Structure 1
Amino acid sequence: MSGDLILHHYGTSPFSEKVRVAFGIKGLPWQSVKIPPMMPKPDLTVLTGAYRKTPVMQVGADIYCDTQIILREIEHRHPSPTFYPGSAKGLAEGVAFWADHQLFSASVAVAFGLMGEQMPDAFLEDRAKFSGRSIDRSKMKMQAAMMSGPLRAHLGWIEEALHDGRKFLFGDAPSLADLAVYHCVWFVRDRAKATDLADYTALNVWADRMKGFGHGSASELDSKAAVEIAKTATPAPVPAGVAANAMGLSAGMPVSVTPDDTGRDATVGELVGLTAQSITIAREMPETGRVHVHFPRAGFILVPHKG
């Protein structure tokens, strides 16, 4: 049980769909912990600290926050078929970062405009706190109209790339880049039922191909059982240690880690690992015992904690 892949997610989360399709590409079994789409999420945040974004992946007492590091860990544990076929290594990470931020922002605006009338007030209030800006239901359709042009521009690049007949963005096999672009398309096309993407013929064929991978083999797990798994497990060693860095951070220092865009709640712990691509901090709570919480470097602010 402690070595199983556990995904804390909910069905309509686009970033969760990114990881679910990743499981499908690799044909993996995984355990599904359904979490609320809005705060509070007590059985999640006891594992992560204050991190509230979705999804989170757990392997025993190791907690992975953000799909960047989640997919990197899945690749590490299950390298075949790879998320980095051919020339995708490095470049796929860059395309994915663009998709997760610029493409996703445009996708959210359009999707919310299409689905806004169905969204409960409590959900919109939660997302206003999450994003750090007010959300006015009466303006959502206008904002969607404003962002439809940028969204079509972004997706036009993907349509152009796929028009040469390639099956995926980097050739004949799916990569990390395909996963990152797909979850945005899925959110607008499949969840929000947008109809103005029909003219993107190559994009739609590709999206159907991505959808065809499915989600691997999931089994349900209770959130409290997941917390107990963490408590009875031991975090994996962090062999890289703490690399030299401009801030002079060293192993054992108290630090805080905060997303640089939305959900800016700081997770505080003891620094145990730092590389060019990852941050690992240790936390300990009575409910969980000692856990290691992992974050990517890109997209997160790491500073000493003065509490």
Structure 2
Amino acid sequence: MTDLILHQYAESPFSEKVRAIFGFTGLPYKSVDIPAIMPKPDLIALTGGYRRTPVMQRGADIFCDSALIAEVIDDQNPKTSIFGQAGKAQAIAAARWTDSEFFRVCVGLVFQPAALAANPRFKDAKAAEAFVKDRAAFTAGGPALAIPLPRAEAVFREHMRALEESLKNTSFLGGDNPNIVDFSNWHLCWFVHRQEVLRRYFDGFSAVGAWLERMQVFSSALQTTTISGDEAISIAKGCEPRKIDSPKIDPLLEIDRGAQVQVLPTDYGFQPVSGALVVADDKHIVIAREDERAGHLQVHFPRYGFEVSLAGDST
């Protein structure tokens, strides 16, 4: 089996989500530490422009978005699936809300003045300025990542009360074992809780506190080997993308297989990835592209949260 390679950085909450899923499954993987801000030349060589974190690689196949990455990991470890059939639809819907709306709530908390003053990254004025400029460019044209602090605090408290009730009589939100809802809540609670100045938001929620300790075990159970970006690119160039059996194209797109297309997120991070269309079904978008350094690649996206259109189509 080709090694799974996670392109991530330590402070990234969505990377933490994937790290915890790896820890739960026990699957070994390799890790590439990428910069938190642009430029990211090694990552872009693989993705063709997509710059969100994390990205996962399997040979010459590149997987974008943590929701899709979770599915790929789960497919390789079905005995401990985090997508159980019972309540699967509700779990996926809850995870999507958490990864989008609750993420904005937690960003509002983490980027409040008291937290920024305690964050080592923002003690260096030049580093802080570079980070702010990078995120401004990243979110240009989309909604603000953070919601105002008073609303963020109110929504966070409401969600903690809901989690507390859900966890009073069960070890995990998924029951006896964690499911995707646990991991989607974990990485955002981790994002807030890892800053000592913000831990007061968890005061009075003892069941949530015990759940955080249980989830931390998965996060700490890392079986990773760190490699360089150059090594990851060499691995991609030495592989061929996996053949996709019976690839489908949604007829409503009115785009032929092999047509040159671009793929964009629907919320923020509007950096297009261009290539030849391979798949665009109800779940996935896959495009084929060539890179001078990385060779022939297939870049995978979830259909939810992404749009595919003919290359150069401004609509």
Same-fold call, TM cutoff 0.5: yes
In 2: Cα distance, 1:295 partner to 1:131 partner = 19
**Structure 1 residue ranges without an equivalent (≥5):** none
The alignment partner of 1:255 has SS state of strand
In 2: Cα distance, 1:180 partner to 1:284 partner = 33
Alpha-carbon shift at residue 301 of structure 1 (Å): 1.4
* Equivalent residue number for residue 125 of structure 2: none
- What count of residue pairs does the alignment treat as equivalent? 301
1:173 is aligned to 2:164: no
* Equivalent residue number for residue 41 of structure 2: 42
The alignment partner of 1:80 has SS state of helix
User: What pairs up with 1:123-162 in 2 under 5 angstroms?
Assistant: 123-132=131-140, 143-162=148-167
In 2: Cα distance, 1:192 partner to 1:130 partner = 28
Code of the residue aligned with 2:172 in structure 1: it is F
8 Å CA contact 1:88, 1:170 repeated in 2:
no
* Equivalent residue number for residue 274 of structure 2: 268
* Equivalent residue number for residue 288 of structure 2: 282
Q: State the percentage of identical aligned residues.
A: 36
Alpha-carbon shift at residue 158 of structure 1 (Å): 1.9
1:243 is aligned to 2:242: no
8 Å CA contact 2:284, 2:300 repeated in 1:
yes
* Equivalent residue number for residue 254 of structure 1: 260
1:298 is aligned to 2:304: yes
More off after superposition, 251-260 vs 32-41: 251-260
Q: Deviations over 1:82-109 (max 9, x none)?
A: 1123624232211110110011110011
**Structure 2 residue ranges without an equivalent (≥5):** 123-127
8 Å CA contact 1:8, 1:44 repeated in 2:
yes
Code of the residue aligned with 1:291 in structure 2: it is L
Alpha-carbon shift at residue 193 of structure 1 (Å): 4.3
User: What pairs up with 1:23-172 in 2 under 5 angstroms?
Assistant: 23-85=22-84, 87-113=86-112, 114-117=114-117, 118=119, 119=122, 120-132=128-140, 143-163=148-168, 165-172=169-176
More off after superposition, 186-195 vs 271-280: 186-195
Superposition TM-score, scaled by structure 2 size? 0.90
Code of the residue aligned with 2:299 in structure 1: it is V
In 2: Cα distance, 1:92 partner to 1:231 partner = 37
* Equivalent residue number for residue 189 of structure 1: 193
* Equivalent residue number for residue 219 of structure 1: 225
The alignment partner of 1:90 has SS state of helix
8 Å CA contact 2:247, 2:278 repeated in 1:
yes
8 Å CA contact 2:160, 2:202 repeated in 1:
no
Alpha-carbon shift at residue 260 of structure 1 (Å): 1.2
CA RMSD of aligned residues (A): 2.1
Code of the residue aligned with 1:205 in structure 2: it is A
Q: Deviations over 1:113-137 (max 9, x none)?
A: 1432332121111111112279x9x
8 Å CA contact 1:110, 1:148 repeated in 2:
yes
8 Å CA contact 1:269, 1:283 repeated in 2:
yes
CA pair 201-40 structure 1, distance change in 2 beyond 3 A: same
In 2: Cα distance, 1:291 partner to 1:231 partner = 8
8 Å CA contact 1:110, 1:145 repeated in 2:
no
1:208 is aligned to 2:213: yes
Superposition TM-score, scaled by structure 1 size? 0.92
Alpha-carbon shift at residue 245 of structure 1 (Å): 2.9
Q: Deviations over 1:115-166 (max 9, x none)?
A: 32332121111111112279x9xxx9x9334411122223322222222x11
In 2: Cα distance, 1:121 partner to 1:215 partner = 35
CA pair 222-87 structure 1, distance change in 2 beyond 3 A: same
* Equivalent residue number for residue 9 of structure 2: 10
